[in-house]
Each structure stands twice: as C-alpha cells, then as structure tokens.
Amino acid sequence: MLSAANYTRLATFRRVLRQFLRFSEMAAARVGLTGRQYQAMLAIRASSSGAMTIRELAQDLLIKHNSAVELVDRLGSRNLVWRERAAQDRRKVGVRLTPLGLKTLRDLASVHRHELRRVGPIISTALAEFSRPGAKPPPARNRKT
C-alpha cells in the first residue's frame, strides 16, 4: 500500500514530466512542427548510423508503420528528411535528416537542453525522493507554464 507521501511523489513527478512535454510541444510548434515530428527527427539523429528505416522509426516512436510513413512524408514535404534505398537490400528505405532538418533539430535540441537544465533537478529530486521509502515528499510547486 502506498503512503500519502508516495502519492505526492508520484503526482509531483508526473506533473513535472507533463510540464516538460507541454514545453516541448510548444517549442516544436513555434517552428511549425508537432511534438511527434520533433521526436522523429531526434530519433533519426540519435540512431548510430544517422538514419532509420520506417519500421525502426515506428518501433522507436511506438506508432504503427503507416503512421510513421505519414510522419516521414510530412517531414519530407518540409525538406527536413530524405529517403534513401539501402544498398544491400533495395526494399529497405532509410530516412535521414537533410541539412535543414539538422539545423532545425539542433536549434530545437538546444532549447530543450536549456529547459532540461532547469527542470532536471526537480525531476532528479522527485525520483530520489520516490526511491527512498518513507522519505518526506518534496515541497509542492505551483509553477504555471
């Protein structure tokens, strides 16, 4: 059974996560992207080869294959990604960021890093407090975003 303090820790942690996700959605919207489009670009850039297949992207984003195709189509129409056929298996199509996609992602990631520096300690505290049984909950924060 969870104590009242544990419920407070969970609520605090979830609130901070929601605030960060809201920030992320708004930051992406300011450059004309959806949060999912930003997430896709981030996943592509973070992949070891700098490219992902549609299938890999769908798995990474926890979406269906056809949704990933539509997502890549939208990003492609804005010249943020381009497709390339795999040399060893022409049936596979890789998705890479274009130079414009790389610049857009770099700018967005920089803004996100700044925000993470701000909320990181709050998230860390919430996690640390939650991981210690019987610890007092962190003070409630009523920050409007």
Q: Which residues pair with 95 in a beta bridge?
A: 52, 83
Q: Is residue 76 part of a domain?
A: yes
Q: What's residue 127's pLDDT?
A: 81
Q: Is residue 139 part of a domain?
A: no
93-97, strands of its sheet edge to edge: 51-53, 93-97, 81-85
Q: What's residue 10's pLDDT?
A: 85
Using 50 as the pLDDT threshold, list the residues of the chain that sit under it: 143, 145
- Report the distance separating Cα 125 and Cα 123, nearest Å: 5
Q: Is residue 141 part of a domain?
A: no
Tally of structural domains, the chain: 1
Q: What's residue 110's pLDDT?
A: 97
Give the structural domain span for 25.
4-127
Between helices 54-61 and 65-77, what is the axis angle to 10°? 110
Q: Is residue 53 part of a domain?
A: yes
Q: Is residue 63 part of a domain?
A: yes
What pTM was computed for the model? 0.81
Q: What's residue 109's pLDDT?
A: 97
> Domain with 118 in it: what CATH number?
1.10.10.10
Q: Is residue 27 part of a domain?
A: yes
Q: Is residue 142 part of a domain?
A: no
Angle at 82 between CA 64 and CA 61, to 5 degrees: 25
- Report the distance separating Cα 122 and Cα 16, nearest Å: 8
Given a contact cutoff of 8 angstroms between Cβ atoms, the answer to whether 81 and 18 are in contact is: no
Q: What is the pLDDT of residues 93-107, one digit of tens each?
A: 899 999 999 999 999
Q: Is residue 122 part of a domain?
A: yes
DSSP result, 80-120: SEEEEE-SS-TT-EEEEE-HHHHHHHHHHHHHHHHHHHHHH
Which residues make Cβ contacts (< 8 Å) with residue 7, sequence separation at least 6?
Answer: none
Q: What's residue 3's pLDDT?
A: 82
